[in-house]
Amino acid sequence: MQMNRRAVLGATTLLAVPGLVGARDAAAQAAPPVVGPAVHRFQVGALRVTVVTDGTNVRQDVRQGLVVNASAEQVSGALQAAGIQGVAMRNPFNVTFVEGPGGLVAIDVGTGGIGGPQTGAMHANMREAGLDPARVTRIVHTHFHGDHIGGLTNAEGAAIYPNATIAVPEREWAFWMDAGEESRASEARRPAFANARRRFGPYAQKVERFAPDAQVAPGIRAVATNGHSPGHTSFLIHDGNEQALVIGDAITTPAFFMANPEWYPVFDMDPTMAVETRKRLLDRAATERMQVIGYHFDMPATGRVERAGTGYRLVPATA
């Protein structure tokens, strides 16, 4: 995969410890209030879907350094169009659980608290939802950036989900476990490779790699959405005629990347592919009127996508 050098260099800190973007500023300045519940539930046919937030951090000035191919004035215009006051913006982290014939399946696992003082609420909010980590039978991953895999282990490096098998996209695994890729990476990026090995280490005998479009669990099918990372994958939850799409980081910050799908954040490792993926997903979601679930959307983190001018908008679900 051809990586955009500017995006790669700008994203190195995120890849090593993604949740820390803006964390220091967030602690020092007033943050926008957190909105929405900690837990949101809905049904997809007979499958019970529960979205649980791990918390949020705040980027104090989203006009600078976040959107690579838009000016500060354009970003300000997008904020105003979305009704957002000021230039600070929340960055939530939300994990999706699916209960059905496959047991309790988690899609990603949260930050593990590395995202700053307002993150690391995963287990408290799981308890509120009546979910026990010991009941999780399978974890499927969208990609290996640290804010999505940090919750695999505790501070001592032990597995938090002792009874879970781990399903990973084969392209994502191949990239982050490749010593050659690590040797070619910038010094700032290399911690992300070590982090992936560390987080998956306690589950070494339980890791299964899946191909694009694989059925990763009963009622959950992989959807290849490369671009944000080499093997980034979204997941279609389906039962009968009902479906919902867990999009991971293929689309983040609806006010920016739904309204302007040709924009891309500094975190997209292959921006050209990421934009193509984003447009395809948004078109599909709007056409099929399916629910989408966003890892970085404000809770309830779920809604429907509508066409709006040259872009799209998210119509949030009722909490």
All structural domains of the chain: 5-316 (3.60.15.10)
DSSP state, 274? H
Query: Which pLDDT belongs to residue 20?
Result: 41
Q: Given this model, what pLDDT does residue 208 score?
A: 98
**The pLDDT value given to residue 251:** 97
User: How many other CB atoms are found less than 10 A from the CB of residue 21?
Assistant: 23
Nearest CA to 276 out of 234, 226, 310 is that of 226
Residue with tokens 């926008």: 32
At 36 the pLDDT is 73
Matching residue, tokens 């290996």: 144
State residue 35's pLDDT score.
Answer: 62
| Chain centroid, CA 218 distance in Å | 21
Mean pLDDT for back-to-back runs of 10 residues, the chain (319 residues):
38 40 38 72 98 95 96 96 93 97 96 87 95 97 97 96 98 97 89 97 97 97 97 98 97 97 96 98 97 97 96 91
Give pLDDT, residue 32: 55
Residue 65 φ/ψ region, left for φ over 0, alpha for ψ in the -120 to 50 degree band, beta for the rest: left
Query: For residue 172, what pLDDT is reported?
Result: 98
How far is Cα 31 from Cα 105, in angstroms, rounded to an integer?
A: 33
According to DSSP, the β-strands at 165-169 and 220-224 are unpaired
Counting Cβ atoms within 10 Å, is residue 283 exposed (0-12), middle (13-18) or buried (19+)?
Answer: middle
The pLDDT score that the predictor gives to residue 34 is 55
Please name the residues in contact with 252: beta carbons below 8 A apart, sequence gap of 6 or more.
Answer: 265, 267, 294, 295, 296
- The pTM (predicted TM-score) of the whole model is 0.90
The encoded tokens of residue 229 equal: 């990372």
Instruction: Retrieve residue 148's tokens.
Output: 């999505």
